[in-house]
Each structure stands twice: as structure tokens, then as C-alpha cells.
Structure 1
């Protein structure tokens, strides 16, 4: 008979890419995960994972079995959550991914508040500034700042946020303050490395793109903010990164005659299993914590 813990071990190994990583996710010894995989393969009478000394890959049968195994785990989790919700409690695992900077600054305290309200939910949070594939990565939900252009996901807006051009008073004293998009082009920028380095501004019925020379490219908003504070150049950041610095004057918001492309904060979850009671409760709790408008926008106003 196929055992549930074997399916759990297989899905964790497939999603993390190694038995070591799966053992860390599950909190089990590597030998236990390996034994459960071997038992599952014995019961199914097929090889699911091709092992070698340096790599691990799914066999054709393993690739075919994976989405069904993931569905089994999701449905079991949803069934347990539904029963818990009927008794007035929410329980069970909830695996989330969020950007590093936002996770540290704002998600962490809001998530702690949520967990105080729902002590039986077991939250796993992974912070990553890379684009995380929620549908294939085994996450129940991901938080994203910006559009969610993935038809496999359903997105729910949590909060609004502007992107603001900011620089330190020292940089502006040395280099001057640009007041037009053409003047902005001549300045040095601290750019987000995960994009093409374009800054987009709304003008008329379309967009104007500015491509400043890069003083620094980095894939983390907190580092971008520190570089701007150090006077390395102008940067374009969401308001939730810089509201405190704009209040205390260590950064200055620039007006170049056109607003930068905005963005919103979303929680997104795979379409094929919908929003569980836990995800709905989390979204409601986060919206309450951030406010409407969110506190970072109120601080700037």
C-alpha cells in the first residue's frame, strides 16, 4: 500500500532538487527521506528519481507522477484545514515566499501578528528576490510587488505602492537636482538588476523610458536604498522602502514632471487549487496590518 509519508518525501525532493534539501524542509534525517522514497518506488514498482553522485533528476514516470502527488498533498491539506475551520480554528502547514526587503521590513511583523491569531498554523517563509514559480515550487502562496503575469496564478491585491525617484541631499548638492526626464537621463542610477534597468514614466497616453548610466546594479531594494543614502546616485524604489528616510530627510523625493510606473502588492496562489481558508485568513490579516491606504503611503503624505 502506498504510504502518505512517501508521497511527502517524493514531492519535497522533487521540488527542492535534492534529498538533503528535502530533509531540511521536512525536518527529517536524510536517511529517513531516502528510505521513504525507496519504499514508494517499491510499492509503485517504478523508478521515480534518477540518483547519481552529483545530481538528481526525475524519471519520465517521476515527472508524470509529480503533479498528481502534489495534488494529493494539497487536497489532504485542504481537507484538514476545512475540518479545522469548521471547529473554529485554522491549522496545518502554510508555505510562503516573499521578496527579501519587503519581508524584512513589513511582512515579518504582520506575519507574526497573523501567527499570534492562528497559533496552530505552521508557517514556512522563504525570502527570495528572484521570480519564484509558485505553481511549480510547492508554495501555497507568494507575495509579489508588481504585476502577476502568470495565468496559472490567482492574485489578490493587498496594498498599493508608488515607485519614487529618490536621492540623498549630498548627491543632489554635488550633481544638481533633475527637474525633467531629459535632465534625469544625465544622472547616475542605482538600478535593480533583475530588470533591464529601464525607468518608466507616464506621459500623456503612453510611457517614456529613461535608461540612466549605472552607478550600481543590485537585486535587493535594501542595498539600493543604502547606496542612495551613501550618495552613489538616484534610485527608483517602492514607497515602502523609503517612507522613513523621506520623513527624516536623509532621502529626497524628486519631481521630474511625470510619475514613475507604480506597482501594487499582491498575494498570489496557484489557480488549480484555489484559495484555502488559511490563505484567505492570511490575506485579510495582512491587509488589516498594512492599512488602506497602507501606512507607508500615509507616512509620506
Structure 2
């Protein structure tokens, strides 16, 4: 016996909403009916999907696998109904989005608030977080991330490239000299941005078209980009950061760019969303809006 499609959709809703009672309320059902339908789904599949306690629901391993697929079924059903009803031509509902702190503070907070003003019956909940969130498990509709995509259950659209830069304050350079080669940095106090995918002390450089790491050292590290920028501005050392973070400082002369033609770190900025044949129109329009705002200040990157 095959599972019923509406039971799969209901299962996805239970997990997304976090309780049987909320799923029951959304669908105009009683708690007992929701419980019976999830039990029927488990019986058909021959495995436990959800461990129930008085305070929370926990997915089994089989439940986690099914949840990913059930979300696709739910989205496909929604797309089909929207295509027939014409709902897809209107923009309404709620979007949960996670964005990196630098881009969030630099441009995305204003850009997303502007999007909400343009589409007043859409609400957006924006979280600023550098970590690679579990988009499906944590229920994000859209994630903006800098780095590399590995999860095959997600689709990533490249928005633009983010180049990194090495910089220091003029007073630091006057006291310690200006590095002429990457290896000169071994004699300098390098400020470490510890929140990176790997190798926070392994700064990347390019030589003869190839990228190579150089391990630097320093007496200050932080996982907060704004704190690192302030330490560099105060003349405490040399920083290796996304160029967009310090672009105004470089233009004002508060920071000086070092070894600009030898820096080897460039990362893509992506809009990431769960796999489906046709993402909701509101998500597609939000991605386009975000991309256009990035393009407005692409010289920062």
C-alpha cells in the first residue's frame, strides 16, 4: 500500500509547525484525527517517524528522510493549486530568511525592508547568522550565504563574487612597515577572523595562477567581522577580510589595501532554497530584488 499524498503533506505540516495541535488547527481537524493519520502513515511505511513527548516532537532517522521528500510533495501540491486558482499571481504570505551578518548589515536589512514595503501583504522574518543553517530542518524559505553548497536537497543561485582584501591602518604601517610580499606578513601581527569555513590562519594567495595558503600568526582573533574591522582601524594589526566590509574605509584612507594583486580568496554569494520544480513566486521575486541591490553596490565587492 502506498502512502496517501495528503498524509505526507500533513506530516510535513506537523514537523514545520512543531505540534499535532497546530497542524490540526491549520487544517480544521481534531488532534485525534491528525494523530490517527500520522499513525496510518507509520503503519503503511512500517517504521516510526516521530517520537512524541509532552514537550516536543523528535524525528526518527526514517522521519528525517521522509520529511525532506514530504516537503517536496507539499510544495508540488501547493504549486498545482496555485497554478489553477491564480494565487501564484498574487503575492502574500510569510518568508523566513537567514542572511550573513556582513551583507545583512551592509545592504540586506534595508533591501528586504524595501521589498516588504513594495509588497505590503508579505511579511519577512530575517535572521542574521554566519553559520550554515540546516535550511530544511530549521524551516527557512531562503538563505543567503557566502561559500560553497554541499547539500543536494538545496538549489543555489549565484548572485555575485565576494573578493577579500588585506588591509591595515596607516599608523600601523608607519610603525611596522608595509609588507611587500605575502611572506613579509610572517613578521606582522595578523588579526584573525576565526569564523571561516576552514583555516582562519591560512591566508590564501595567488602565484603564477595558482592558489596557495600561508599560515600567519597574531595575538587577536574574533568571530565578529565588525570587531575585526575596529581592531584594524585602531592600528592593532593586519586584517584579511571581505572587501565589502572595509570598502568605505579604503576609500577614506582609514585603511590601506596591501598586496592587492596577490590575494587569492574569492567566494561566491548564493541565494539558497529547498529543491522544488518551481519555487514560490514571492521567493523568486525576493531573490531578484536582493540580487539587484547587490548589483547596485557591486564595486564594494
For this structure pair, what is the TM-score category when the shorter chain's length is used for normalisation? 0.7 to 0.9
Contact 2:9 2:70 in 1 (8 A): no
- For residues 147-175 of structure 1, the C-alpha deviation after alignment (integer angstroms, 9 at most, x for no partner) is 33443332222233321101122222222
Q: CA deviation at 1:204?
A: 0.7
Q: CA deviation at 1:145?
A: 1.7
Q: CA deviation at 1:296?
A: 1.9
Structure 2 counterpart of 1:265 = 269
Contact 2:250 2:257 in 1 (8 A): yes
- For residues 183-207 of structure 1, the C-alpha deviation after alignment (integer angstroms, 9 at most, x for no partner) is 0222222222233221111111311
Give 1:1-301 correspondences, 5 Å limit. Answer: 7-13=12-18, 40-45=34-39, 48-51=49-52, 57-59=58-60, 62-63=63-64, 65-75=66-76, 77-78=78-79, 82=83, 88-193=89-194, 194=196, 195-197=198-200, 198-255=202-259, 258-291=262-295, 294-297=298-301
In our comparison, the structure showing a higher alpha carbon Rg is 2
Q: CA deviation at 1:81?
A: 5.9
- For residues 20-43 of structure 1, the C-alpha deviation after alignment (integer angstroms, 9 at most, x for no partner) is xx99xxxx8xxx9xx987763343
Q: CA deviation at 1:119?
A: 2.0
Q: CA deviation at 1:230?
A: 2.5
**Would you say how many aligned residue pairs link Structure 1 and Structure 2?**
282
Aligned mates of 2:271, 2:281 — CA distance in 1: 14
SS at match of 1:215: coil
- For residues 127-161 of structure 1, the C-alpha deviation after alignment (integer angstroms, 9 at most, x for no partner) is 21112233444322211123334433322222333
Aligned mates of 1:207, 1:266 — CA distance in 2: 22
Q: CA deviation at 1:93?
A: 2.4
- For residues 92-117 of structure 1, the C-alpha deviation after alignment (integer angstroms, 9 at most, x for no partner) is 22221111222122111111122222
CA RMSD of aligned residues (A): 3.4
Contact 1:166 1:235 in 2 (8 A): yes
Structure 1 pair 3/292, CA: closer, same or farther in 2 (3 Å)?
Answer: closer
Structure 2 counterpart of 1:16 = none
- Give unmatched runs, 5+ long, in structure 2: 1-5, 43-47
Q: CA deviation at 1:274?
A: 4.7
Structure 1 pair 158/63, CA: closer, same or farther in 2 (3 Å)?
Answer: closer
Aligned mates of 1:223, 1:206 — CA distance in 2: 31
Contact 1:228 1:234 in 2 (8 A): yes
Structure 1 pair 102/181, CA: closer, same or farther in 2 (3 Å)?
Answer: same
Q: CA deviation at 1:177?
A: 1.4
Contact 2:75 2:276 in 1 (8 A): no
TM-score, normalised relative to structure 1? 0.78
SS at match of 1:57: strand
Structure 1 pair 67/225, CA: closer, same or farther in 2 (3 Å)?
Answer: same
- Give unmatched runs, 5+ long, in structure 1: 14-18
SS at match of 2:187: coil
Aligned mates of 1:64, 1:256 — CA distance in 2: 46
